[in-house]
Amino acid sequence: MTVAGMNGPHVVLLATGGTIASRAPETGGGAVASDAGDQVLMSLGVPSPYPVRVVDVFRKGSYLLTVDDMIAVCVRIKDALADPLVLGVVVTHGTDTMEETSYLVDLTHDDPRPVVFTGAQRAADSPDPDGPGNLARAVAVAGAPEARGAGVLIVFAGEVFPAGGVRKSQTTKPNAFANPDFGSAGSVSAAGEVRMGRPPVRMEALTLPGPAAGSPRVDLVASYPGADATLLRAALGAGAAGIVLQGTGIGNANPLLCAGISEATRAGIVVVTSTRVDAGPVVPVYGAGGGADLRSAGAIPSGLLRPSQALVLLSLLLRIGTSGTRIAEVFALRGGSRLLPAGPGAT
């Protein structure tokens, strides 16, 4: 059920749009986010596992979101958790940038109650929408005692993933997400039975910037065969305060990009090196413009963070006025291999 105020334990649903709220216009054209949160909740067609209070944040496809929009979601989550009767929070969100928003929330989340992101791969008006099933499972996880202390999670197709390290791995299939380095955090059945594994490693929350923090520009620049520093210099010319380099392999580029990055870091621009490879850490090994030379040029390795989440972390750190030295320390900590799940026999 959904009501304006509740006198007992409940889950808060923050609706932001996405495919789970999308329908094709009667006049024709592509699907757009159009359903309000109450409509999304009513799509369940069965009683919710817990009482639900709905809050509409905005109604957008997540491919349209800005960092400021993502910060607004963080603020609404903190507002919801100010109520001690709230068991947890569900955020319905488009899948395109769910990995970014959920990670920003994870970086700034300082409450033991879970925040659960979910959405859909098929629109609300499709013959067989997957949103209602995902939402029912997400509400079950948000209210479950087993999920307390697990931080920020993504629930999709019955799988529960930690937000850190998650990425969209399928464009259309129902099992939209994967977390190659950190794995699954648990599962939830269609009947709402929640099973959680070992909780993700939790770190001290970072500061959530206020409206006066400004919006430092952070751009993503890719290395590829034949790349030079043209796009890098264009980003710097546009005022970028930070750059995330999407390297190849274990975080490599070439001499032209490396020279441009050296110029950028000498000018005080923060550069972080990530990789286009699906799993494994960024490791500075190679010369001739490779990762070892990039590190010598002042670039910070992202560790296990892929470009999407490295960009979110760098944007947040720049907004809260973090020094370059401290930014390197934070990336070493939050992208470090010590966060990986322990193997068999580990202590």
The set of catalytic residues is 19
Residue 340 CB: number of other CB atoms within 10 A? 15
Please give the Cα distance from 75 to 290 (Å, whole number).
40
**Beta strand ranges found along the chain (DSSP E):** 10-17, 22-23, 32-33, 52-60, 86-92, 115-118, 152-156, 159-162, 167-168, 177-178, 186-188, 194-196, 218-222, 242-247, 270-275, 300-301
d(CA 344, CA 123): 41
Nearest to 73 by CA among 21, 121, 131, 12: 12
How many angstroms separate the Cα of 189 from the Cα of each of 120, 184, 216?
A: 17, 14, 42
Can you give 143-201 as a three-state secondary structure string? Answer: HCHHHCCCCEEEEECCEEEECCCCEECCCCCCCCEECCCCCCCEEECCCCCEEECCCCC
Q: Which of 210, 212, 274, 197 is nearest to 242 (CA)?
A: 274
161, with CB counted inside 10 A (0-12, 13-18, 19+), is buried
What b-and-e string marks burial along 20-47, b requiring 16 or more CB atoms within 10 Å of the CB? bbbbeeeeeeebbbbbebeebbebbeee
